[in-house]
Every structure is written in C-alpha cells, then in structure tokens.
Amino acid sequence: MFQRPGIVVVMDSPIFWARFVLASLAVWRVTHLLASEDGPANVIARIRTRLGHSIFGSLMDCFGCLSLWISIPLAFVVSRRRIVDGVLTWLALSGAGFLLERATSEPLNIERSPEETKGDSDHGMLR
C-alpha cells in the first residue's frame, strides 16, 4: 500500500488492475508495432533496415525480447511501489504482452514435405 494525495493504492485495488490492463495492452501494441509492422510511412521498416544485423536489429526481430524492454518503464508507472513490486510487475507486463501476441497471431502450420513422407510406410514404428 502507498499514499498519494487523498488516495491509497494497493495491488488488489481497482486502480492497480486498471493500470495493469492498460499497460499490458500498451506493451503488446508498442512491441507488435516495433517487431511486426512497418509503421506509418514505413518509418519502423526503415529503422529496422538501418539497424540490420546489429544487437538492436536482432532485438526488433524477437517479440519476447522486445517486450521485456518495452515493459520496463510501464512497470514502474503501474506499481509505484518498492523495487520488488516493480520487478514483478515488469515481468508480468512482458508476459501479458507475450500472451496477447500468442493469442492474436496466426497459428504456425508445419507440414512435412513429400520427400519426408515418402519412406514412412517402410518404417513400422512410424505407422
């Protein structure tokens, strides 16, 4: 629990959860924009091209990695408490953003090539 002028906020209060939900959506949106979209007027695509294969370029290719960085400032806006609560909120926001990405992305279908399935009838264990 912490004090703000006229307001007491705890992690089980509606204010905390409203901030958490909004921050989770913001983490997902900003991370998705940077990792998967070209952005308005292809700004993000140009940045991604300039970064190339550098550390920052690789970071923009990984939704999970990028969500960790995007959620840091939002975690402290949400928790507004001790560093321990900020760290837990940081990881939870990153996880929430990642779950939202998994829930909204296209499913990955992996099909075997005809060459791989050709010899399957010869193997009793594969039947």
Residue range 25-73, pLDDT digits in tens: 999 999 999 998 988 899 999 998 898 888 888 888 889 999 999 999 9
- Residue 67 in contact with residue 31, Cβ under 8 Å? yes
pTM of the predicted model as reported, rounded to 2 decimal places: 0.71
Biggest alpha carbon distance in the chain? 76
- Residue 67 in contact with residue 94, Cβ under 8 Å? yes
